[in-house]
Amino acid sequence: MNGLLLTTQQALQLLLSGDAELWSIVLLSFSVSLKAILLTTPLALLVAFALNHVNFPGRRIILAFFNSLLSVPTVVIGLFLYVLLTRQGPFGNLRLLFTQSAIVIGQMILCFPVLVALGYAAIQASDRRVWETARTLGAPTWFSILTVFYEVRFGLLAAVLTGFGRIISEVGISMMVGGNIMGYTRNITTAIALETSKGEFAQGIALGMVLLSLAFLLTAFLSYIQGKKEFTT
Amino acid sequence: MSEPLFVFRGIEKSFAKNKILRKVDLFLYPAKCILLSGKNGSGKTTLLKIVAGLEKPAEAEIEYSGKSLSWKKAIRNILKEIIYLHQQPLLFSGSVESNVAYGLRFTSLNRKQRRESVIKALEWSGLTDLANIQANTLSGGVQQRVAFTRAWILKPKVLLLDEPMSNMDHESREQARLLLCRMKSAGMSIVITSHVPQYFDGLTDVQFHLSNGQLAESKFSASNDSL
Ligand SMILES: Nc1ncnc2c1ncn2[C@@H]1O[C@H](COP(=O)(O)OP(=O)(O)OP(=O)(O)O)[C@@H](O)[C@H]1O
Ligand SMILES: [Mg+2]
Domains and CATH numbers, chain A: 19-232 (1.10.3720.10)
B197 C-beta closer than 6 A to ligand 1: no
Atom of ligand 1 nearest to the CA of B163: 27
Does residue A26 or residue B175 have the better pLDDT? A26
- To the nearest 10 degrees (0 to 180), the angle between helices A188-197 and A20-53 is 130
Q: Distance (Å, rounded) from C-alpha A193 to C-alpha A186? A: 10
Beta carbons of B107 and A138 less than 8 Å apart: yes
B89 C-beta closer than 6 A to ligand 1: no
pTM for this prediction: 0.91
* 3-state SS assignment for residue B168: coil
Q: Distance (Å, rounded) from C-alpha A226 to C-alpha A214? A: 18
Q: Provide the β-strand partners of residue B215.
A: B210
pLDDT of residue B71: 81
pLDDT of residue B124: 87
Domains and CATH numbers, chain B: 6-92+157-224 (3.40.50.300)
Q: Distance (Å, rounded) from C-alpha B185 to C-alpha A42? A: 47
pLDDT of residue B198: 87
Are B23 and B214 within 8 A, CB to CB? yes
Beta carbons of A139 and B106 less than 8 Å apart: yes
Q: Could you tell me what percent of chain A has a pLDDT over 90? A: 86
* pLDDT reading at B180 higher than 60: yes
- Rounded to the nearest angstrom, the distance between the alpha carbon of B35 and the centre of ligand 2 is 13
Question: ipTM value of the model?
Answer: 0.92
Q: Could you tell me what percent of chain B has a pLDDT over 70? A: 96
- To the nearest 10 degrees (0 to 180), the angle between helices A100-124 and A20-53 is 40
Query: Whole-number mean pLDDT of chain B?
Result: 91
Q: Which of A132, A138, A232 sits opposite B54 (nearest CB)?
A: A132
* 3-state SS assignment for residue B20: strand
> Mean pLDDT for each consecutive 10-residue tract of chain A (233 residues)?
84 91 94 98 97 91 93 95 95 94 97 97 94 97 97 95 96 95 94 88 92 94 84 58
Beta carbons of B86 and A129 less than 8 Å apart: yes
Are B193 and B44 within 8 A, CB to CB? yes
Which residue's CA is the closest to the ligand 1 atom numbered 4? B15
pLDDT of residue A140: 96
Residues of B in CB contact (< 8 Å) with A are: 49, 52-54, 79-80, 82-84, 86, 88-90, 92-93, 102-103, 106-107, 150-151, 154
pLDDT of residue A1: 57
Are A203 and A11 within 8 A, CB to CB? yes
Are B187 and B5 within 8 A, CB to CB? no
- Rounded to the nearest angstrom, the distance between the alpha carbon of B227 and the centre of ligand 1 is 28
Q: Could you tell me what percent of chain B has a pLDDT over 90? A: 72
Beta carbons of A138 and B103 less than 8 Å apart: yes
pLDDT of residue B1: 63
Q: Distance (Å, rounded) from C-alpha B93 to C-alpha A149? A: 12
pLDDT of residue B141: 87
Q: Distance (Å, rounded) from C-alpha A25 to C-alpha A43? A: 29
Q: What is the DSSP string of A109-166?
A: HHHHHHHHHHHHHHHHTS-HHHHHHHHHTT--HHHHHHHHHHHTHHHHHHHHHHHHHH
User: What's the pLDDT tens digit per position in B22-57?
Assistant: 999 999 999 999 999 999 999 999 999 999 999 999
Are B33 and B205 within 8 A, CB to CB? yes
pLDDT of residue B223: 45
For an interface test with B, give the residue of A137, A142, A151 to mutate (most B CBs within 10 A): A137
B44 C-beta closer than 6 A to ligand 1: yes
Q: From the CA of B195, which ligand is nearest?
A: 1
Alpha carbon distance, N-terminus to C-terminus of chain A: 51
Tell me the mean pLDDT in the region B188-193. 96
pLDDT of residue B227: 42
Q: Which residues of B185-200 are buried (b: 16+ CB within 10 A; e: fewer)?
A: eeebbbbbbbeebebb
Beta carbons of A136 and B102 less than 8 Å apart: no
| Cβ count within 10 A of residue B158 | 20
Alpha carbon distance, N-terminus to C-terminus of chain B: 8
* pLDDT reading at B221 higher than 50: no
